[in-house]
Each structure stands twice: as structure tokens, then as C-alpha cells.
Amino acid sequence: MGAVGGHSPYDFRIGFYNDMPLPASKAGEEQVIQRKLETEVILSPLATVELVRWLSQHIQNYEATFGPIAKPQMGVKKTKKPDVVQDSTELQGYM
């Protein structure tokens, strides 16, 4: 699961997708991944600003209750398996 998004002068867009490996027809072939766009959210610039404010407030409330949200460090060998593993894709490009 991941997300891609971008903006134009008129709107902000974010699309959420799932990646699914397709079965290889022959042994030794490269793995093919099929990406399916599940949903797309399109917001006006004003609605985007309001969403950012709402999210920021809820993140502050969450961290006040549960502590800071730690982002996993890439390339660092982990000695302990994390309780929750979540890979994400940076938002990129305009759809």
C-alpha cells in the first residue's frame, strides 16, 4: 500500500494504491508488480489547508498522550523486531 500525489493551481490530489505481485509464468523470470489505484482524494487549496490544520491538531493530541511518533531510520540494522512495520512511499509527482 502506498500513496502518490501532487498539486496544480486548482487542486491537491492524493491517490492510494495497492501493489500486488503477479505470478511468474516461468521460473527465473523477473517478478512483475501490478499497481492498482484504489481511491483518489481531490481537494481545493482551502480544503487542503483545513485538512492540514485538523491533522496537525490531532497529531499534537496523539503525541501528548502517547509520546512522539518515531519515523523508522532507513539503512540502520535493527536489533529488535518492531511491533508495527509500515513501509510508505513519499508523495511524488502529479497524477
Indicate the pLDDT class of residue 92, thresholds 50, 70 and 90.
very low
pLDDT for residue 94? 46
Task: Tell me which residue has cell 500500500.
Answer: 1
CB within 8 A of 32, min separation 6: which ones? 21, 22, 24
Distance CA 61, CA 64 (A): 5
At residue 12, the 3 state secondary structure works out as strand
How far is CA 46 from its chain centroid? 22
Percentage of residues of the chain with pLDDT beyond 70: 75
Residue range 45-66, pLDDT digits in tens = 999 999 999 999 999 999 999 9
pTM of the shown model: 0.62
